[in-house]
Amino acid sequence: MSKLAHRVKDLKPSATLAINAKAKALRSKGVDIVNLSAGEPDFDTPGHIKEAAIKAIEQGFTRYTPVPGIPELREAVCTKIKEDYGLEYSIDEVVITCGAKQALFNLAQALFEPGDEVILLAPYWVSYPPIVELAGAKPVIVGGAQERNFEPDLKLLEDALSPRTQGLILNSPSNPTGLVYSTEFLQGLAQLARQRDLVIISDDIYDHLRFDGKGPENILSVAPDLRNQVIIVNGVSKTYAMTGWRIGWAVGPKEIIAAVSRIQGQSTSNANSIAQKAALAALCGPQDCVAEMRKHFKRRAQLLYQELSQIPGLRLTAPQGTFYTFVNFAAYYGCLTPSGTEIKDSLSLCDYLLEEARVATVPGIAFGDDNCLRLSFANADEEILKGVARIKEALTRLKPAS
């Protein structure tokens, strides 16, 4: 066999995708799994969006589109950003990508290179470190404590900056914590970005899944003067239950967007033509489907929080958005399973819960915090209740280490 390139030798599969796939495979074999690992809405894509795709096929909209996407979708993205954030963009500042993940990947390729450092705020989304590393740059992790809603101390953040720091990736509401960074934090970060000329990638993929009724907020809505340093990433996956359609976008300074587009033109070409038409229908059509899904996520967030509160030893933070909560299980580390295996860390606890409780969760280590597990509430109420009951029961079977 020919040798593999150095860059893939240490590349791990996405933990979230891997666990979700394992849970689905067990289920299809008839194992009764409660899947609290899912990173996608459990709702079906709304009907009017599917109809737009069917119409696109029927009308033969099946050829290559311009690499950065069809102009009407780029226009719709500009309108959406104006409505949501009050920010003005033109279509040459927008590129449509194969999901937000590809927007992030191409941005890293366009902006970072060996010798550069990129700040990631822990807990971070699983794919940020590999995306930065595949560009040859070094992720520098700055962690936030759970008692401060996982928000890093701005002083710590400042101390982590070096002359090699090029940028920072920010995700609010956050996967995995479900928390929204405070306006004060965004203002403090904006000040650092201004002083140190940092590029900020604002991953706003969960911006419409915020439960406090407030509108979306990102670093540019609190610091519009940073327009030349901020790139907004978003997509239809989470807001419109369209994860499989693979449509995302990046919005920012023209030269950066043109560079992302050049990378795309030499790799994936345009995003799927039919899915672009569907995304157009999502952005321009009725938005009550979004409000409806958000209402369910909010209720389920409360249900999951309330149920988990009944389990001794867990440390919880009530999610403010997304469909995830990040729960500290460290009180159970050091315990022994009935077969005598030690629960050493988040990985061993996840394995135990999958094997003994038939509940799939994601180990916190994949997000840079080994004390926690990520639990998804993109699930029906009954599944949430069943999942927590099983976790509780499995935890009572653990024996404290002597």
Least distance between ligand PMP and beta carbon 323 (Å): 10
C-beta pairs of 32-35 under 8 Å, 24+ apart in sequence: 32/358, 33/354, 33/358, 33/359, 33/360, 34/358, 34/359, 34/360, 34/379, 34/383, 34/386, 34/387, 34/390, 35/360, 35/376, 35/379, 35/383
* Per-residue contact flags (x/-) with ligand PMP for residues 13 to 32, judged by CB under 6 A: --------------------
Strand spans (E) along 51-196: 94-97, 117-122, 138-143, 165-171
Q: Are 180 and 320 in contact (CB under 8 A)?
A: yes
**How many Å apart are CA 270 and CA 321, to the nearest integer?**
31
> Which residue matches tokens 């090029």?
166
Residue number, 277 or 294, with CB nearest to ligand GLU? 294
Least spacing, CB of residue 91 vs ligand GLU, in Å? 27
Burial class from Cβ neighbours inside 10 Å (0-12, 13-18, 19+) for residue 135 reads: buried
> Which of ligand PMP, ligand GLU, none lies near 235, with the C-beta cut-off 5 to 8 A by kind?
ligand PMP
Question: Are residues 317 and 179 in contact, defined by beta-carbon separation less than 8 angstroms?
Answer: yes
**Closer to ligand GLU by Cβ: residue 112 or 326:** 326
Between 146 and 171, CB nearer to ligand PMP:
171
- What's the min distance (Å) between Cβ of 322 and ligand PMP? 8
State which residue, 332 or 377, has the beta carbon closest to ligand GLU: 377
**Touching ligand PMP, residues 65-104 (CB under 6 A):** 99-101
Residue 14 contact, options ligand GLU, ligand PMP, none, Cβ 5-8 Å cut-off depending on partner type: ligand GLU
Nearest CA to 181 out of 85, 321, 306 is that of 321
Could you tell me the smallest distance in angstroms from the CB atom of residue 264 to ligand PMP? 14
Q: How far apart, in whole angstroms, are the C-alpha atoms of residue 104 and residue 234? A: 10
Min CB(398)–ligand PMP separation in Å: 30
In the complex, which residues of this chain contact ligand GLU (CB under 6 A)? Answer: 14, 16-17, 39-40, 101, 126-127, 175
237 binds ligand PMP (CB under 6 A): yes
Q: Diameter of the chain by CA atoms?
A: 70
46 binds, among ligand PMP, ligand GLU, none (CB under 5 to 8 A by kind): none
Q: Which is nearer to ligand PMP, 39 or 129 (CB)?
A: 39
Residue 261 is a binding residue for ligand PMP (CB under 6 A): no
In 197-313, which ranges are E strands? Answer: 199-203, 230-235, 248-251
Q: How far is the CB of 37 from ligand GLU (least distance, A)?
A: 7
Q: How far is Cα 364 from Cα 14, in angstroms, rounded to an integer?
A: 13
Chosen from ligand GLU, ligand PMP, none, partner binding at 126 (C-beta under 5 to 8 Å by type): ligand GLU
Enter the tokens of residue 95.
């590129």
**Contact with ligand PMP (CB under 6 A) among 45, 109, 165, 171:** 171
Q: Pick from ligand PMP, ligand GLU, none: which does 203 bind, CB < 5 to 8 A by kind?
A: ligand PMP
Size of the site for ligand PMP (CB under 6 A): 13
Tell me if 125 contacts ligand PMP by CB under 6 A. yes
H or E element: which one contains 394? helix 381-396
Sheet with 324-328, strands from edge to edge, namely 324-328, 372-376, 362-363
| Structural Rg of the chain based on CA atoms | 21
Determine if 297 is a binding residue for ligand PMP (CB under 6 A): no
Q: b vs e for 343-371, b when ≥16 Cβ sit within 10 Å of the residue's Cβ? A: bebbbebbebbbebbbbbbbbbbbbbbbb
Contact 387, 376 (CB under 8 A): no
To the nearest whole angstrom, how small is the minimum distance from the Cβ of residue 126 to ligand GLU?
6
Of the pair 46, 248, the CB lying nearest ligand PMP is at: 248
Q: How far is the CB of 355 from ligand PMP (least distance, A)?
A: 26
* Residues in touch with ligand PMP (CB under 6 A): 39, 99-101, 125, 171, 175, 203, 205, 235, 237, 243, 248
